[in-house]
Homo-oligomer: A and B are copies of this chain.
Amino acid sequence: MIYPEIQRRRTRAVRVGGVVIGGEAPVVVQSMTNTATADADATIEQVRRLAEAGAELVRVSVPTKADTAALKRIVADSPVPIVADVPFPFDRALEAIDAGVAKIRLNPGNIRDRGQVRRVIAAAADAGAAIRVGVNEGSVVDRTDDASHAADLARPLDELMVEKMAEYLAVFQEADFHDLVLSAKSHDAVTTVAASRLIAERWDYPLHLGVTHAGTAATGAMRSAAALGALLCEGIGDTIRISYAGDPTAEVAAALELLYSLRLRPRMGLDLIACPTCGRALMDMEPIVEQIRTALAGVDFPVSVAVMGCVVNGPGEAEGADVAICAGKGKAILYRGGKRLRTVSLDEIVPAVVAAVGEIGKSRR
């Protein structure tokens, strides 16, 4: 089977510590701590857990001087590059760059003084730090006077976000600073998609994708996957963060699952395809699927296994999977590499699949 591939939009490559965002690099998974950054021990502990879960960059928020004071140790002890999120005073940006972070995140809605932005750009250029310019729905509306406020509220939000981005980027262009990553986030999936599309049309800087305040893992998964999936399917997006309320390691698992499902990253271990057990199923699927999942949980190479309950879609799916089982009446057909191997009894299914996967493992060593 020849599966179509996502054609990724070509962007500039931006170096963030040892990680590259954009260019030919795979989509980078990032997350953010929810500890007080000033508590260096707790933050380092969470950064490590996020890195173990698969985060390739971790962002920490630095609203206070106590937070930036903790950064040097966090940067030194982190297994992945650290990004500092600078919500307000521009001094925090200078302190963070001084502490050695690989990237800072600025929000055009919060640090507007051009002179201050120029000083941050100069410091980042000296230190080799990248900058994300991240526009958020929450800080894009001008509240300095009633007239501007009313005018901004009357405009489509996606256009307003991109206009603020353009105004802000002018300072970076004047300074000839291009180690930039851009983002436009909203809690609303459609707005995130629309604004990110506009940005992708207009600039060739890499894009950071995320939906803000998506909710808990239970409620936020569909919203995040819909928005990020839509953009990634259009080839847009160089780094992603899924943001859930609660334990951030769940964010990383979800982000990886999204990239696996779009084949933007090879899944190490088992990719199990199971048919949804309709009335046609000729075997009791769930226990067999679970036994196979348990038996192959430790697999450390990419392998796909399809478990199909009937012959309607079974043979076709079997041709696309490394190992497949397709149930008939009281027996099943075992496939390997898209080819029919032999008929097995229902009892033999699990050991036969495990053995076939084991052989593939040997051949890949």
Which residues on A are within 8 Å of B, measured CB to CB?
Answer: 1-6, 32-37, 43, 60-63, 67, 85, 87-88, 107, 109-110, 136-141, 143, 153-158, 186-191, 193-194, 212-216, 219, 221-230, 232-234, 243-246, 248, 254, 257-258, 261-263, 272-281, 285-286, 289, 306, 308, 310, 312-317, 319-320
Contact = CB atoms under 8 A, between A and B. Distances in A.
Contact of A4 (B190, B245, B313): B190
A67 B279 contact: yes
Contact of A225 (B109, B229, B234, B289): B229
B263 A190 contact: yes
A255 to B, nearest CB: 9
B245 A138 contact: no
Given A139-B313, A228-B226, A280-B63, A274 B4 contact: no
A34 B278 contact: yes
Contacts of A216: 274
B279 A34 contact: yes
B226 A310 contact: no
15 contacts: A3-B157, A36-B279, A60-B279, A61-B280, A107-B312, A137-B313, A137-B320, A138-B312, A215-B272, A215-B274, A221-B222, A222-B225, A225-B229, A226-B229, A229-B230
Contacts of A263: 188, 190
Given A4-B194, A136-B313, A273-B213, A87 B280 contact: yes
Contact of A312 (B6, B139, B233, B258): B139
Given A221-B221, A261-B222, A263-B190, A319 B280 contact: no
Given A34-B276, A137-B317, A258 B289 contact: no
Contact of A258 (B6, B226, B234, B313): B226
Nearest to A289: B245
Contact of A2 (B1, B4, B155, B244): B155
Nearest to A197: B233
B229 A157 contact: no
A204 to B, nearest CB: 22
Given A139-B315, A243-B276, 12 more contacts: A2-B157, A4-B157, A63-B310, A110-B312, A136-B316, A137-B320, A215-B273, A221-B225, A222-B229, A226-B258, A230-B233, A245-B277
A236 to B, nearest CB: 11
B4 A276 contact: no
Contact of A3 (B3, B190, B223, B275): B190
A115 B64 CA distance: 76
A216 B232 CA distance: 23
Contact of A245 (B33, B219, B221, B274): B274
A273 B187 CA distance: 7
B316 A213 contact: no
A316 B138 contact: yes
Nearest to A216: B274
A63 B234 contact: no
Contacts of A60: 279
B257 A222 contact: yes
